[in-house]
Chains A and B, each alone.
Chain A
């Protein structure tokens, strides 16, 4: 899996609370992505078994609103996403150290 900027943002939103289901517009707002980027990404993650989707149960209090499709990470998805995000953070820290040209003490951030 290649961790691009948009993918990283989506994974951060999804891992924040892995049990919470998100619908498409919700994810778009939280990750700041247009629908044209988000849905193909979700489809790919789903194909790789990292994300699962389910239809919302029809509710009486929904006021005739059509049921939505909700996405969340699978157990495997949580594991892979956390690993990738940790890896990306470590890399960003190393890069920051490189530009600062002096060692940053552990625990300062």
Chain B
């Protein structure tokens, strides 16, 4: 099955992956908090996308495509443009490299983020693994 990023089908497939992946369940077992991935338009993407994921103890409780920033602020907001995000999805850009080189902005508790980087990296692994095609 083709799962094209970004799309509602892709987000649904990621939801299923996060709830079935044993490695993610183990690494993210202590993670508590929702994240919003904000993808700024660039290249082939013409609109701003807001992908919401409620992550809890190694599982994903909910995903949603929002039209704007939610009224209740999620624990983390990760913002980047589509070009950088697609490079991350294609494994051409390491997520930490993106953060360290100003290609990915992170808003939220840095204390929580810095002690849970392995969870974020494994979340990205899952996202990469469900992606079979990328908008180009």
The answer to whether A binds B is no
